[in-house]
Chain A
Amino acid sequence: MSLLGQVAIAGIGDTDYAADYAANREKETRRALPSESAGYAIRALRHALDDAGLDKSDLDGLVVGPTLAYERTAELAGLDVRWAAQADAAHAIIEAAAAISAGLASCVALVYGNNQRTAGVQYGGPRAASGQAHRAYVYYAPWGLTSQGGLYALMANRYFQLYGIKPADFGQLAVRQRAFAAQNPRAVRREVITTEDYLAAPYVVEPLRLLDYCMVNDGGVALILTSAKRAAQLAKPPVLIDGVGWSDLNDGATSLAPRFRDFYHSAHRQAADQVYAMAGCGPRDIDCVQIYDSFSCHTLFALEGFGYCGEGEALSYLSTDAAPPVNTSGGHLSESYMQGWNHQVEAVRQLRGEAGGRQVAGCRRVQYICDAAGKVATLIFSGGAA
């Protein structure tokens, strides 16, 4: 079965990450921050409905992100729906698109909210978030090994050792994303950084430095999905979902075996085969790539696993003209850590031609790739306004 061109993103919304981060940091009371995660999600939902030219009474489906409780979120938004699910960014889009194409819902809101900064969420140590879902984040505490960052540092170091990577070259990932963020007024981190700045940044878990890590900030994202036909009647040019791919690695997850075996490439390849066959295109046809980047090194594993370049070649590939721009909003490193959701908004902005100073000229196809903890999902979007 193919989803090619049947379902569209008709509306996008997000919160003002930079202003909320500053207010949070300075304990500023003049700017009202939502009192709970769902408040951020609903603030973004309001923007997304306005963007699409829809009213909330038009919605008959809802997907909430993993940090939200479904009933609570729907209650706060006053939403009674006929279909609902809870899923991560790419999976939320895949499930909503499948539901729309199966006739279970016609107009679905996908919402994410996270008050992780205000709430002091810890991603490592004795109270590491997601330790229930991902045992490896907490299992090795007696030896001091904890956090998704610690696990990606082990993967990154293996990659460094196998391919002789130099820190200054690796640092270009963070430097390049920050340069995009400097062109994005919504980004939390907009000051340009140099290779020297990168090399002067402290290690968190070596070889990963603070500038290789995502931020921890509050915010919300919302998307409105509907049929391509209906989207064509709405306020903004539709962004079509041309293909999806999904392949998860769970066997040996706590032992870290799939990380060291091949940097998750077996799942990358399966998801790549699925998405490119469905969308009828390949890496060379993609104008812009959005990659889930809780850490900079995700970019290398994703580009190599999806066939943009050979194994061990991503850093040199990215320095050539053949490489598409990656994480043009600044991504999790510099725009906002919305666990893959802000990447969908950036894909839509690029395809609508709304990306301002960071706009990719002639952008017609954008790919999103996520491989968090070996759960690989990918999407290819198309649009023609840029």
Chain B
Amino acid sequence: MTAAPRRVIPGRLPGRDDDAFWAYLAAGEVRIQRCGECGQWRYPPSPVCARCLSEAAQWLPVEGTGELLSWATFHRRYFSVLDPPYTVLAVALAEGPIMCGDLRGPDHIQDPAELRLGLPMRLVIEPAVFEDGQECSIFGWQVAEPGKGGTP
């Protein structure tokens, strides 16, 4: 049996905290940091809590649900490996931080015309490969309950 071809994605920024994030993702989990002192959740990954300046943190899995804050559809090509048009979203996680990602299908709606502010969204994880050939996984966002319009 042959696995479906992995989607090719642009490279990410390097950094020790991001390395950990992508390692968890490759293992099939979205984990983000929670401050070991004040309990504040944070994303994108960072070396220190911006609220209390503590460097202590745990990497904890997120529920993977959130509320749609906005979206935009790229029509201009910025990356050789990504064919426009594609839609990117900003979602407020149940844990608090905002996670930007792209709109994924095909099981659920992909047409951005059906998106509404406040729509409940769900994280999905897919196998991928960075453009330099390194295998990885990436998350994207799907509408949690397709067919149900959100409240603006």
Q: Chain A: residues with CB nearer than 8 A to chain B? A: 124-126, 135, 138-147, 150, 153-158, 161-162, 202-208, 251-252, 254-257, 260
**Is the beta-carbon distance between A145 and B100 smaller than 8 angstroms?**
yes
A126 to B10, CA, bound (A): 8
Which listed residue (B10, B73, B85) contacts A142, Cβ 8 A?
B10
**Is the beta-carbon distance between A260 and B69 smaller than 8 angstroms?**
yes
Q: In B55-112, which residues have CB < 8 Å from any A CB?
A: 69-76, 78-79, 82, 85-86, 88, 90, 92, 97-98, 100-102
Given contacts A141-B12, A150-B74, 20 further A-B contacts (CB under 8 A): A126-B11, A141-B13, A142-B10, A143-B100, A143-B102, A144-B74, A144-B86, A150-B88, A158-B117, A161-B116, A203-B75, A205-B72, A206-B85, A207-B72, A208-B72, A252-B50, A254-B44, A257-B98, A260-B92, A260-B98
Residues on the B chain within 8 Å of A154, using CB: 70-72, 88, 90
In the complex, the chain B residue whose C-beta lies closest to that of A158 is B70
Residues on the A chain within 8 Å of B133, using CB: none
**Is the beta-carbon distance between A157 and B71 smaller than 8 angstroms?**
yes
Output the least CB separation between B78 and chain A (Å).
Answer: 4
Asked if B20 lies at the interface with its beta carbon under 8 angstroms from chain A, I say no
In the complex, the chain B residue whose C-beta lies closest to that of A146 is B78
Residue picked from A141, A143, A156, A202, most chain B C-beta under 10 Å = A143
Residue picked from B86, B98, B102, most chain A C-beta under 10 Å = B98
A153 to B112, CA, bound (A): 14
**Is the beta-carbon distance between A202 and B71 smaller than 8 angstroms?**
no
**Is the beta-carbon distance between A143 and B88 smaller than 8 angstroms?**
yes
Asked if B138 lies at the interface with its beta carbon under 8 angstroms from chain A, I say yes
Asked if B28 lies at the interface with its beta carbon under 8 angstroms from chain A, I say no
**Is the beta-carbon distance between A153 and B72 smaller than 8 angstroms?**
yes
Residues on the B chain within 8 Å of A208, using CB: 72
Output the least CB separation between A106 and chain B (Å).
Answer: 42
A141 to B92, CA, bound (A): 19
Asked if B147 lies at the interface with its beta carbon under 8 angstroms from chain A, I say no
In the complex, the chain B residue whose C-beta lies closest to that of A163 is B152
A119 to B119, CA, bound (A): 43
Asked if B140 lies at the interface with its beta carbon under 8 angstroms from chain A, I say yes
In the complex, the chain A residue whose C-beta lies closest to that of B141 is A143
**Is the beta-carbon distance between B117 and A162 smaller than 8 angstroms?**
yes
Asked if B43 lies at the interface with its beta carbon under 8 angstroms from chain A, I say yes
Residues on the B chain within 8 Å of A155, using CB: 70
Residues on the B chain within 8 Å of A146, using CB: 78-79
Asked if B125 lies at the interface with its beta carbon under 8 angstroms from chain A, I say no
